[in-house]
Amino acid sequence: MRIGIVCPYSLSVPGGVQSQVLSQARALRSLGHQTRVLAPCDEAPPDTGVTPLGRSVRVAANGSRAPLAPDPACGRRTLRALRDEDFDIVHLHEPLCPGPTLVSLALFDGPFVGTFHRAGASGFYRALRPVLRRLTRRLSVRCAVSADARSTALQAIGGTYELVFNGIEVERFAKATPWPSDRPTVMFLGRHESRKGLSVLLEAMSALPADVRLWVAGQGPQTAELMAARAGDERIEWLGQIGDAERAARMRAADVFCAPSLHGESFGVVLLEAMASSTPVVASDLPGYRNVARAGVEALLVPPGDAGALARSLDRVLGDAMLADRLVAAGETRALELSSERLAERYVELYEEVLDGRRAT
């Protein structure tokens, strides 16, 4: 079948939804389906099979700044691409997000499958609830990536949702060549903003042995402030934005991956990436992360914002090879359960139900 996937966020900016969209498209193509991604791009498209819809602007959302393209020009490009491609089905990720997904839902004639990622209250949802409720009736199937995302959508617009977890491309991480590393290494990957908890991890580093190194990947509004606060600490390597190949290589090489987020995580894809890389995980005990990891089984989970507890858990994993091996074995199994291939197969089932008339708007 011919499948169109519409993403509201710029593919030039790293993000969970963007990575899901691209990996889903590759998995669907591997199953023999012609698949094209429509999304804003601020640079050259990051993958084949992408139709760029224009540049993005940063808009405050969910404690972060989302790279959206809500301008009329992007909307016109979206509708033109949908008409020209003549897709059998259109899959909207974050269908109510201002920009190409909302334009598609409002002004194009489907059929549509929608996936909701957001967890947490939304002022936009509240302000436009009556309109959004009517629009979502145009979705033949509504999916949510987690119980939190489903709850958020239910409270805002009602309806019925299929729980369809996110997935990852396991082989890309499992077969990566490890980055050279000569000492115990903790890795952080994420946007440098308060909700991601990087400041908590930096505080925890003060309680770890002197030979432990921290790789900090990503950037954000707190980067300069945090770098200045830790100036002179040679154990911390500030990597900036890194490409997919380096991301996988460093994950494979790290002795522990740390996700110290404070809130706002609907699903722990980055935890799955570490698990697929055979790297043990220490993370905050958040509902979104518990979708992926059980405490003490696939990861050590600690209270959000507790630098002391975080340091103790990191030190345990670094100092206990048997514990690390148990976490790795369970994590590898969990990553396989939530692979992009399995996710694509589930979405194909839903597409076929829509096209066969077993699902109707």
Quote the tokens at residue 233: 């600490």
The predicted pLDDT at position 14 comes to 84
Q: Name the one residue in this structure whose structure tokens are 């959206």.
A: 68
Tell me what the mean pLDDT of segment 269-275 comes to.
94
Contact by Cβ (8 Å): 279, 248: no
52 CB neighbour count, 10 Å cutoff: 21
Q: Is the pLDDT reported for residue 291 higher than 90?
A: no
- The pLDDT value given to residue 61: 63
Give this prediction's pTM: 0.80
Model confidence over 336-361: pLDDT tens digits? Answer: 999 999 999 999 999 999 999 866 55
DSSP letter string over 56-78? -EEEEETTEEEEE--SHHHHHHH
For the segment 95-110, what is each residue's pLDDT rounded down to a tens digit?
999 999 999 999 999 8
Strand 281-284 vs strand 256-259: parallel, antiparallel, or unpaired? parallel
Give the span between the Cα atoms of 358 and 151, in whole angstroms.
25
Domains by residue range for the chain, with CATH: 2-167+339-355 (3.40.50.2000), 170-337 (3.40.50.2000)
Q: What is the 3-state secondary structure (H, E, C) of 217-281?
A: ECCCCCHHHHHHHCCCCCCEEEEECCCHHHHHHHHHHCCEEEECCCCCCCCCHHHHHHHHCCCCE
Predicted local confidence at residue 65, as pLDDT: 77
